[in-house]
Amino acid sequence: MVLNPVISKLTGKLVVLASASPRRLDILTNAGLKFEVVPSWFKETLDKTLFKSPHEYAVETAKQKALEVAKRMPHKHLKTPDIVIGADTVVTVDGLILEKPVDKQDAYRMLSRLNGKEHSVFTGVVIVLCQELEGQEIEHRTVDFYEETKVKFADLSEEMLWEYIHSGEPMDKAGGYGIQALGGMLVEYVHGDFLNVVGFPLNHFCKQLGELFNGPTSESPARGVEASETGEEQRSPSKKLSKCDGKIGMVGFSNDESDRAVPAWTSGGIVRKLNSTEPQRCDLDFPRRIVDLMDGFKASKALFTASKLKVFDLLTSGEGLSAKEVAGEITAAVESTERLLDALVSLGLLAKIKRRDATGYRNTDQANRYLVSTSEVSLHGYVLHCDERLWPLFTHMEHAVQEGTNQNERAFGKTSDRLSQDHLNSVKEEKLRFMNAMHGIAKLTGRDVVSAFDLSRFKTACDLGGCTGAMAYELTKAYPGLSVAVFDLQAIVEMSSHFCPGHLQDSSRVTFLPGDFFKDELPKADLYILSRILHDWPDEKVHFLLSKLSAICTPGCGVLVAEMFLDEERSGPSRALLQALSMTAGRQRSATEYHRLMKEHGFTQSRAAFTHSFLDAVLCIKE
């Protein structure tokens, strides 16, 4: 079956692709489908351990992407789509799901796993059918399927793997390779749909459209469809049509395994299991988004409290602990502890498991990775910082808006300058706690920032205000030929040895130099890093610092600016917009504003990269 027989059925319909993938766009465009692209805002954070097979994970991720767009468009775009297409591709080998690598080392890890082996590529596809009912209600029906393709990598040398990694191609590809481009040289054979490996199973999609608009075909059931013992076609759980209740942020699983639900608290709302036999209504009058925002502070405080009590440190074992056991460890009442644990389950941070004696609780993958205090990429310190510093500050927001000033004096009884000085002069334990908070966020964002551009042309770098050196260590890991100097205040440099990675084979390429980048002469380097620096200072100091950089930089030198970028129209979802409410002396800027700012100081060549992490980046070159 080809697409042409169903194209006429789609004439006049608003078809939307909920993906920014250029590969999927090309595949569907070349097939003759007319559609709009509206990238999904759904965060791909589902816990993989909750799914029995990789294709279930891919299908559910695709479903959440498509439903987020289908529900957002009537509000943000002021138009209702007829059909929304969502897709998610994963690569699996040895039972492990490989998605997009976070940096070059991660790409090497993935490609090494695939080297010389056969692996599977799964793409989950979801089609959302939107129908406007009376009273401006919208009904969403979903149909989903998946496709599997077997791919075998040749036996590749280390040199060839690294040559491919340095090409930059692996960084936005599931599994770390793109079969349609340079990655094709890694592949020995393909069994199945080639386009499925590229990112979209066109043949299966066409068959599915044919069933939806022309009725069932006489062809044998496609993957994702089961045949009953009587010989009649029977939809498998992954193929069942389900309705979406507009009062609920996302539909639940459409099969009987839906107790393994996705994290219940998301930007789209609360998830619950839906019985497909129950009539569901979509009531757009219910202020779902407003209710989510009203309750958002409760979710934040549950995370802060659990982190302060080190609940996540207790639940790293797959066997888990009961509420009574956790209560005993944190010296708390059993009933209130159980309430906290259940809330964390609803937020997708913990999972419930069945034990002989009682219900157990354990961390999800994300909690183990980012919330356990001893994890290499732990955000534990930054979470505590949010609770102890940002939470009190933001409780006085009405005064901040009315007065247009930072509220440190109301929250802590001290001015911003006095607080900063107190951090520098504080006892070792307090200073380490603050630096640990900064280290966690820098460690997490550093991988995205250093891989946003190819920086291999630079041989020396200087990270101004680099604090613990987290960004510097990420740079030296990604670029073996680069040496980095961290330039920060004396009190910070004295504590830097506490944050040197223990597994780092060669730490000599990262050095720490004491100094004040406003008062002292800057070290010479080919590349300067300004990570979370410019937003913190008033314009006059920003221009002063950039003037110093311009004076010391020779043609070809670069400045890498890492900041939260404002949405150009100040309307889209943005952490920077919320961060700006702290009313610091500085201000947040958009990518265009950073381009203009750097151009004023002679850095005329600039490129922006949106990492979809905490920080985006602009690389500027002096001419």
Catalytic residues: 88
Q: Which residues pair with 528 in a beta bridge?
A: 462, 559
Cα–Cα distance, 602 to 556 (Å, whole number)? 11
Cα–Cα distance, 67 to 130 (Å, whole number)? 10
Q: Count other Cβ atoms within 10 Å, centred on residue 421.
A: 13
- Where helices occur in 46-198 by DSSP H, the ranges are 54-76, 104-114, 158-166, 194-198
Cα–Cα distance, 79 to 126 (Å, whole number)? 20
With H, G, I as helix, E, B as strand and everything else as coil, classify residue 414: coil
523 is written with which tokens? 């070290």
The amino acid at 196: N
112 is written with which tokens? 């090494």
Could you tell me what percentage of the chain is helix, strand and coil, using 3-state DSSP and rounding each to the nearest 5?
A: 40, 20, 40
The amino acid at 442: A
Cα–Cα distance, 361 to 324 (Å, whole number)? 11
Give one DSSP letter per residue of 514-566, joined into a string.
Answer: E--TTTSPPPP-SEEEEES-GGGS-HHHHHHHHHHHHHHPPTT-EEEEEEPEE
- Judge whether 126 and 86 are in contact, CB under 8 Å: yes
**CA-closest candidate to residue 339, choices 353, 327, 329, 357:** 327
13 is written with which tokens? 């319909």
Compute the radius of gyration of the chain from its Cα atoms: 26
**CA-closest candidate to residue 620, choices 562, 569, 539, 552:** 562
Give kind and range of the element (H or E) at residue 129: strand 118-132
603 is written with which tokens? 């850095």
Give kind and range of the element (H or E) at residue 421: helix 416-425
Q: Count other Cβ atoms within 10 Å, centred on residue 540.
A: 8
491 is written with which tokens? 């009190």
> What length is written for the chain?
623
Give how far Cα 80 sits from Cα of 137, 289, 434, 507, 568, Å.
11, 18, 47, 55, 25
